[in-house]
Amino acid sequence: MLPRLVCISDYEEHARSVLQKSVYDYYKSGANYQETLADNIRAFSRWKLYPRMLRNVADIDLSTSVLGQRVSMPICVGATAMQCMAHVDGELATVRACQTMGTGMMLSSWATSSIEEVAEAGPEALRWMQLYIYKDREVSRQLVKRAEQTGYKAIFVTVDTPYLGNRFDDVRNRFKLPPQLRMKNFETNDLAFSPKRNYGDNSGLAEYVAQAIDPSLSWDDIKWLRRLTSLPIVVKGILRGDDAREAVKHGVDGILVSNHGARQLDGVPATIDALPEIVEAVEGKVEVFLDGGVRKGTDVLKALALGAKAVFVGRPIIWGLAFQGEKGVQDVLEILKEEFRLAMGLSGSLENKRYQGELNLQLALYLWLRGPALLHWWIYSEPSYLTFSFDKPISEVFVSKRTLMVARSDLFSPRAGPWSLGPSVPHSPHFYSYCLALNSGTLFDFPVQAKPVDSDSRMSLEFTHTAHSPPPFFGSPWSFVTSSPACAVTRVF
């Protein structure tokens, strides 16, 4: 009898027990010391949901659109390579499950089922094509044309892989495809990552990327791709606002905020932490999506509340595939869908278009850098003084154990953590004094002044503190962050 699996972590534990070690390690592992791999999941817990009550959530609409195509829920399947290592039906099982669930699937260029086979297996499924830019541009061009001819609805071009990330487990295992498998979108053994080829003592995939993928990829290649196809183009792998703005300038239709499942550069931000900056940067001109770390329905809700149009999941699909093929993938999607439905109902949200109008999120305890610099502010003796500029007007105030976020507010009501702010004392229209307290004991006082700097709504904040000894949590730097139209650290959307 098969075990009863009720959450995504159950599926992963089962997959660990049934997959060959090198295969499980390939799917599971991240780059280097896997700091970002862990943080992709952990970061979601730093964002807190504050639900609305008495909202009549009897009828909840989960549906949305992605690049103009309707899906039953904002949970789509991301590009995960070589799925036949997890189950004999591989990508064919996945696309059939997506067709049943009414959601979209992004097919990896490195699939162990071909573009045409996947289209035939899921003729009614919403399918997108993930693309690498090969040194031989004709290889990439042919992939795009085959996708067009078989009904794929968009191209997701991966831009974060000029070289393959250093994945220790793959090096230890000398990873390569099992003998019976190959990347079926390519004809030659070299491009098909054939196990017949000798890849030496390194990760075979690292050798493959070095041989085939073009590290000279630039924005000119996005122009080339834009000329090549009329399909919507989504740039996959953006983590910075300036890159997002550049992508918009180059005519893309969407941005997938992604760190490649933490498999490329270790130490980059978790995608949920990078998301608000991207959403702000594109100013609603293109759709923004997110992948990385999504394991629960509340993760989906938080991503959408921070501005994502939909999320993509990868590893959970593999764990479902390893468990029971098509049915396992369908069950994983069903779990995420029902968790998301419950999260919406309990948060007081009714439909996709109202996510950002209904939710209040707060970032607690830790924060990745969101401002223009990371400020090391040590308090040892006499009062210190500083001025800090923000790109947007400030709207809220919150102090947590290691993160200071300051904004204009007449009264702050603390909602998380042991650190709290007392009521502000107005000194002028834009000047307030706050008292940082630990439980009932005053730790130190500091005034906060927000004043216009120039005509484009930039604000300058001035801080003065009077502590004569360092607070106990000052072993780490403090981060200063801005609010934005899409997200603030504590904000009613």
Whole-number pLDDT of residue 112: 98
- Give pLDDT, residue 360: 57
Which residues have a Cβ under 8 Å from the Cβ of 429 and sit 6 or more positions away? none
What pLDDT is stored for residue 359 in this prediction? 58
- The interaxial angle of helices 315-347 and 90-101, nearest 10 deg, is 20
Tokens (6 digits) for 216: 């000279």
Could you tell me where in the chain the CATH 3.30.530 domains are found? Answer: 370-479
First and final C-alpha spacing in the chain: 47
Catalytic residue, chosen from 14, 87, 260, 465, is 260
Could you write out the DSSP letters of every residue in 343-412? Answer: HHHHHT--BGGGHHHH-EEEE-S-----SSSEE----SSS--EEEEEESS-----EE-SS-EE----S--
pLDDT value, residue 352: 56
Alpha-carbon distance 32 to 203, whole Å?
13
For the domain spanning 370-479, the CATH number is 3.30.530
Q: Say what the alpha-carbon torsion angle 404, 405, 408, 412 is, to the nearest 10 degrees.
A: -70
CATH 3.20.20.70 domain span(s) along the chain: 8-358
Q: How many CB atoms lie within 10 A of CB 432?
A: 24
Homologous superfamily of domain range 8-358: Aldolase class I (3.20.20.70)
DSSP letters for 291-342: ESS--SHHHHHHHHHTT-SEEEE-HHHHHHHHHHHHHHHHHHHHHHHHHHHH
What pTM, to 2 d.p., does this model score?
0.77
Sign of CA pseudo-dihedral 334, 335, 339, 340: negative
Find out whether 435 and 465 touch, Cβ atoms under 8 Å: no
Q: At what angle are helices 8-18 and 21-28 packed, to 10 degrees?
A: 150
Cα separations in angstroms, 127 against 14, 77, 105: 28, 10, 5
- 260 as an active site residue: the answer is yes
**Widest CA span in the chain:** 75
DSSP class per residue in 167-214: -HHHHHHT----TT---TT-SSTTTTT-TTS--TTS-HHHHHHHHHB-
CA distances from 311 to 104, 336, 363 (A): 11, 11, 20
pLDDT less than 70: residues of the chain: 351-493
329 neighbors 93 (Cβ within 8 angstroms): yes
